[in-house]
Structure 1
Amino acid sequence: MLIYHVATLADWTAAQAAGAYTTSTYGVSLAQEGFLHCSREDQWRGVLSRYYTDVPEPLVLLAIDTDLVTVPVAEEPPAPGVSETYPHVYGALDPAAVVEVRSLDETSR
């Protein structure tokens, strides 16, 4: 199954060099949040428009193959009282689990 994560190009480039992606959301680390926020195909555009419209740096969309993820992945609501679930990755993401990287230019936002 594919899940998706909006990332800055800088964070993705650093992850490739380090061998691990550890940014939960823009400006928030895995260590701070406890997991990486992800979304399904039908959710990532809403995440992009709600949380990333004012991000001034280049963004990319990471397509993650859950069969290649070596840490737990869980479908959970993002907050108490919310019924819709989102995939959460509980640990550092090996860049090898990312099977596609799409540029999200200004027209995508």
Structure 2
Amino acid sequence: MTQYLVAIHHPDDYDPTVAEDDAMDRDIDVLNDEMVAAGVRVFVGGLQSASRAKSVRVQPGGKISVTDGPYLETKEHIGGFWVLEAADMEEALAWGRKAAVACRAPVEVRPFH
């Protein structure tokens, strides 16, 4: 089976204390339980704000620089993700649809190499 990343996207100003409530937490817990029962969930993780990120870059001459913030300047960032094992993209998308509903946010589904 192929592994797929199911990534939740949040706007840059996302505040979980405002956007997330008990109903959303329950919906995500139910989805996680369903994924475990189906045997597809490999790993799941929520990420702190993109403002907590550090970017590491190789500079000319091989010097390494570390800067505050995410690598890309965007209006959205990944707020959390699942790694799933699914038979094909269609199955992974079915889980992605459920994730979008539970998280009330856009979801990206992408296969690993």
Choose 1 or 2 for highest CA Rg: 2
What TM-score comes out, normalization by structure 2 length?
A: 0.29
Q: Which has the higher strand share?
A: 2
Q: Which has the higher helix share?
A: 2
What TM-score comes out, normalization by structure 1 length?
A: 0.29
Q: Considering Cα pairs closer than 8 Å and 6+ residues apart, tell me whether 1 or 2 has the greater RCO.
A: 2
